[in-house]
Each structure stands twice: as C-alpha cells, then as structure tokens.
Amino acid sequence: MSATNTAPLLALERLSVRYGGVTALRSLDLVVHHGELVTLLGSNGAGKSTTLRAISQLVPAAAGTLRWNGGVINGLPTERTVKLGIAHCPEGRRARQSVADNLELGAWLRRDRNAIRRDLERCYSLFPRLAERRTQAAGSLSGGEQQMLAIGRALMAQPTLLMLDEPSLGLAPKLVAEVMGALSNLHADGLTILLVEQNAQAALDIADRGYVLEAGELSLEGSAAELLGNPALREAYLGTG
C-alpha cells in the first residue's frame, strides 16, 4: 500500500493515440497528483479531448501506459474506469430527461440512497440555478446551466478525479467565471480535477499546474504561475504579446 500512496493519482507515460492512420496524440507524459487541479491547454485539434477519451478508455491507447494510483489501467472497459473514481464530463449533453433525473443517473453505480440524496442537495447548493429548474427537461436549459448540470452529474458518482472537457465553451464571460468559481471551490474541498480548456486565462487562474498541447504533442508544462508568465504562451493563447 505504501507504494500506491506515493504514486500520483493519474499518470500517462508516453501515451499515443491513433485514429486510423492519423496520430492524434504522440508520446504524452502527464501526471495528476492527489488534490491537484491540473489544466490541459491547447487549440482546437491539439489532442486535448483525445487525452480525456484515452483516460476513459473511449479510445484505445496505441502505445504507452495509463496508471491509476500506480496500477496499469490500459484496456479497462469505460464503465470500470467510472468505478475506479474517474468521472469524465464530456461535451455532449443528455437532453430529454429532467434535471433531477439526469443528476440521479450520475449516481447509477451507487446504492447508498441516503448519501445520494445528500449529494443531490449538495449539487443544488453548488449550482442553485439547477435547483430552480430541477423538473425541467435538460434540453431546455441554457448553455451555462447545461454545463453546470454536466458537472453536477459527474459529481454524483463521487469521483476521485473529475475530468472536464471545455466547460467554458460557448459561455458568456460571467458564466465562465461562475463555472470556474465552482470548480475552484471543489478543488478547495480536496477534489482532484483535470481541466481541458481553450480559455487558458480562465483555466490558469484556478489551476495549480498546466500542460500545453500542440498538434498532439506536449509543447509546454509548468506551474500555473510560470505558464501565465510565459511569453510564448501569452502570445499564442492569451492574446497579449
């Protein structure tokens, strides 16, 4: 057990992913330690979503190793990664069912009814807008509310690691701040988070560390403060030369 305690929660070692003949991710090394908020930055098509999909085993790793608490998890079925404690918030959303049904579905693997009810209330206090709309169909929510719903649903699985795929996508600046604020609070409560973002400024403002992908390869990594001060990154992603 002592070995697993010191191992990072999640470690990607020289991970590569290919779609047909196209290499989407090339030899990526990335670690997430317990309690960290790590952000994965890059432009469209850089391989950020692919990284999350590989961790959730939605796409197979063409090469390299995926470790969870030190143990290799390559080839595990997706639903088993959820059991391990990995919650992956994808970009898509379930539209037809109500907000409450959606949240409850997030707890599908759990059987502790009382704790589920408590977590449901916690979700509503984290995102009061969801509480107001609990009987509404998820498809009728605004973009920001849908994003909150997706995060809330992922939290209902009581994850050890929360992975988010561009939660700020298409949101007004005020809502981006609200979503990032919620993530920051969850991080402060001890949740480990891997945040994929194009909005580098918003992500680095709340992150401990960051990685930058470019065309499927790692181009930069460092603490959030280092990355925020990096001239190359500022020019490429923050729009300030």
Partner 1 sequence: MQDLTQLLLNGLSTGAVYALFALGYTLVFSVLGVINFAHGAVFTLGAYFTYFLIGGAAGANGLLAGLQLPFALPFWLALPLAGLGAAAVALLIERTAFAPLRQRNADPLLALITSLGAGVVLVNLIQLLVGAESYAIPTGALAGLPAAVRIGGAQVRSVQLLLLLVAAVLLTLLTLWIDGTRSGKGLRAVSEDPTTARLLGIPSDRMIQIAFGLSGFLAGIAGGLVGLSVSIAGPYFGIGYGLKGLGVLVLGGLGSVPGAVLGGLIIGLAEACVPADLSGYRDVVAYGFLFVVLLVRPQGLLGRVLPSKV
Which residues contact partner 1 by CB under 8 A?
56, 58, 77-79, 82-83, 87-88, 90, 92-97, 101, 104-106, 108-109, 153, 157
Query: What minimum distance in Å lies between the beta carbon of 234 and partner 1?
Result: 34
- For partner 1, the closer of residues 90 and 222 by Cβ is 90
d(C-alpha 165, C-alpha 51), whole Å: 10
Query: What minimum distance in Å lies between the beta carbon of 109 and partner 1?
Result: 4
- For partner 1, the closer of residues 105 and 232 by Cβ is 105
Phi, psi of 224 (to 5 degrees): -60, -40
Q: Report how far apart, in Å, the C-alpha atoms of 219 and of each of 36, 57, 210, 236 are.
A: 21, 24, 11, 12
In sign, the C-alpha dihedral spanning 80, 84, 85, 86 is negative
- For partner 1, the closer of residues 53 and 133 by Cβ is 53
- For partner 1, the closer of residues 85 and 222 by Cβ is 85
Residue reference for tokens 């973009």: 143
Query: What minimum distance in Å lies between the beta carbon of 148 and partner 1?
Result: 16
In sign, the C-alpha dihedral spanning 107, 109, 114, 118 is negative
Query: What minimum distance in Å lies between the beta carbon of 178 and partner 1?
Result: 23
Query: What minimum distance in Å lies between the beta carbon of 102 and partner 1?
Result: 9
d(C-alpha 75, C-alpha 193), whole Å: 22
- For partner 1, the closer of residues 59 and 191 by Cβ is 59
